[in-house]
Amino acid sequence: MITYLYWGAVIALAMAALILLGKNSFWRSAIGSALIVFIVGWAAYYFHFEQVFVKRYGGVMTVTVPEGQQHIAATWKDDNLWIENYDPKTNTCYFNEYSKGNILQGKVTLKNCNPLKASDRTLNQMR
C-alpha cells in the first residue's frame, strides 16, 4: 500500500509542475520540471525506498528465483534481503543479497550443499 501511495505522490507532484508552469505558457519548463520530479522520484525509490517500504511498511517487491534453482529461505539483514536458493544439478546452495538499488550485492556459495538430505534424516529419525 505504501508503495502505491509513494507513486501517487510522485505523479501528483509531476502533474502539479505541469499545471502550475503550463498555465502560464511555460511548457518547456513545465515538461522539464515534471520529468525531473519523475526521474528523482524513480531514483529515490529504486536506490533507497523500495526495500525500506517492503520491510517496514508492507510495500511491494518481486524477486524471481533463477531457473533450475529451488527457493529455500529468505531473511533480512538490516535493510537488505538475503535469499537462499538450491541448485540440485550442481548440489550447491546460493545466498544472494538484494541491496538497495542492487549496487552492493553479496553472494555466498556453499558447495556440496544438500538441504534435502538433512530433512530426510530428520524424518527417518522421527519414524
pLDDT of residue 15: 93
Name the pairing type of β-strands 80-87 and 107-111.
unpaired
Question: Is there a single domain that holds both residue 7 and residue 46?
Answer: yes
Q: Are residues 49 and 94 in the same domain?
A: no
- Whether residue 76 is found in the same domain as residue 108: yes
The pLDDT assigned to 102 comes to 65
Q: Are residues 82 and 53 in the same domain?
A: no
Q: Is 7 a domain residue? A: yes
Residue 85 in any domain: the answer is yes
Residue 65 is assigned to a structural domain of this protein: no
Query: Do 100 and 80 meet the contact criterion of CB atoms below 8 Å apart?
Result: yes
Q: Which residues of the chain have pLDDT under 70?
A: 101-104, 116-127
Q: What pLDDT shows up at residue 110?
A: 87
pLDDT value for 30: 87
**Residue 79 lies in domain:** 70-126
- pTM (2 decimals)? 0.62
Q: Is the same domain home to 83 and 120?
A: yes
What is the number of domains present in the chain? 2
**Based on the domain organization, do 46 and 81 belong to the same domain?**
no
What pLDDT shows up at residue 127?
53
- Residue 10, pLDDT score: 94
Strand partners, 107: 96
In a domain, 64, yes or no: no
Which grid coordinates are listed for 61? 517487491
